[in-house]
A = this chain, B = another copy of it.
């Protein structure tokens, strides 16, 4: 927990998130206070607070003065989020925060019954890196990624392997791929390719 890469506040955030996902802290229950966290992890209040604030921004936890920090009591899972990635030129390199927006968008998706996002200006390597984190960390049950052909199969493969429920495909192969893997959704997904922005209707899941 100490030596691994990245800033401490990120590793702390990651660890807390993992513990929540494992069920160590259930929705509605209180997390350790800032002071407790400082002792447990050997960090300063600043660092502990920053990790918490990140999770607040993502909607994972809620804080109240005088009470503490608790796991968000109601989490609605988007059954599937659809990302349509059309990247043009090197726009991505000039706007690296773009993928961060996707990530926060997917965070919002956990409060939605349905989710649909479209991004432009996204490059391959950075995109896959972010999406990989996304699939590992977020509360979505699955992420369907439709990318431009030149993003490349190998990158999308990496993403698929990170977590079950993640399906990816290049634009031209989309309907074919899904005909193989999920035959029952064929009709719906084929019509989806005619959307400029994909949208996958989903049933809502209640807690």
CB neighbours of A118 from chain B (8 A): 112-115
CB neighbours of A199 from chain B (8 A): 116, 197, 199
Instruction: Report the interface size for chain A: residues with CB under 8 A from the other chain.
Output: 37
A142: interface (CB < 8 Å): no
Residues of chain A from 59 to 83 with CB closer than 8 A to chain B in the complex: 59, 62, 72-74, 76
A25: interface (CB < 8 Å): no
Please tell me how many copies of the chain the complex holds: 2
* A120 & B111 in contact (Cβ 8 Å cutoff): yes
* A120 & B116 in contact (Cβ 8 Å cutoff): no
* B112 & A117 in contact (Cβ 8 Å cutoff): yes
Select from chain B the residue with minimum beta-carbon distance to A199: B199
Q: Could you say which of A31-39, A96-104, A127-135, A180-188 contacts chain B?
A: A96-104
CB of A68 to closest CB in B, whole Å: 15
CB neighbours of A91 from chain B (8 A): 74
CB neighbours of A117 from chain B (8 A): 108, 112
- Known A-B contacts A57-B57, A59-B100, A91-B74; A113 and B120 likewise in contact (beta carbons under 8 Å): yes
Interchain CB contact (< 8 A) of A95 among B72, B102, B113, B197: B72
A165: interface (CB < 8 Å): no
Residues of chain A from 177 to 199 with CB closer than 8 A to chain B in the complex: 196-197, 199
Task: Flag A24-66 by CB within 8 Å of B: 1 or 0 each.
Answer: 0000000000000000000000000000000011010010000
- Interchain CA distance A120-B204 in the complex, whole Å: 10
CB neighbours of A121 from chain B (8 A): 74, 76, 111
Task: List 7 A–B pairs whose Cβ atoms lie within 8 Å, in order of A's numbering.
Answer: A59-B97, A59-B98, A62-B97, A104-B107, A112-B197, A114-B197, A116-B199
| A interface residues (Cβ-Cβ under 8 A, vs B) | 56-57, 59, 62, 72-74, 76, 91, 94-98, 100-102, 104-105, 107-108, 111-121, 196-197, 199, 201, 204
Other than the known A101-B111, A116-B199, what 4 A-B pairs have Cβ atoms closer than 8 Å? A76-B120, A101-B108, A112-B118, A197-B199
